[in-house]
Copies of this chain bind each other. A is one copy, B any other.
Amino acid sequence: MRKQEVSALLIGRFQPFHIGHLEVIKTISRQCDRLIVGIGSAQLSHTFENPFTAGERHLMINRALHDEGLDNYFLVPMVDINRYAVWVAHVQSLVPPFQDVYTNNPLTRRLFEEAGYNVRSAPLFNREVYSGSEIRKRIISGKEWEHLVPKGVAETIIEVGGDQRLRDLTREHSYEVTI
Q: Which residues of A contact B (CB under 8 A)?
A: 1-2, 10-13, 20-21, 24, 40-47, 53-56, 58-59, 62-63, 71, 74-77, 79, 81-90, 92-97, 102-111, 114, 122, 124, 132, 152, 155, 159-160, 165, 168-170, 172-179
A and B contact pairs by CB, cutoff 8 A, 24 listed: A2-B155, A10-B179, A11-B175, A13-B176, A20-B179, A40-B177, A41-B176, A43-B85, A45-B84, A45-B85, A55-B94, A74-B75, A85-B90, A85-B93, A86-B90, A87-B175, A97-B160, A102-B177, A104-B179, A105-B172, A105-B177, A107-B173, A110-B169, A132-B178
Docked complex Cα distance between A122 and B179 (Å): 7
Q: Which residues of B contact A160 (CB under 8 A)?
A: 97
In the complex, what's the smallest C-beta–C-beta distance from A6 to chain B, in angstroms?
14
Docked complex Cα distance between A179 and B13 (Å): 9
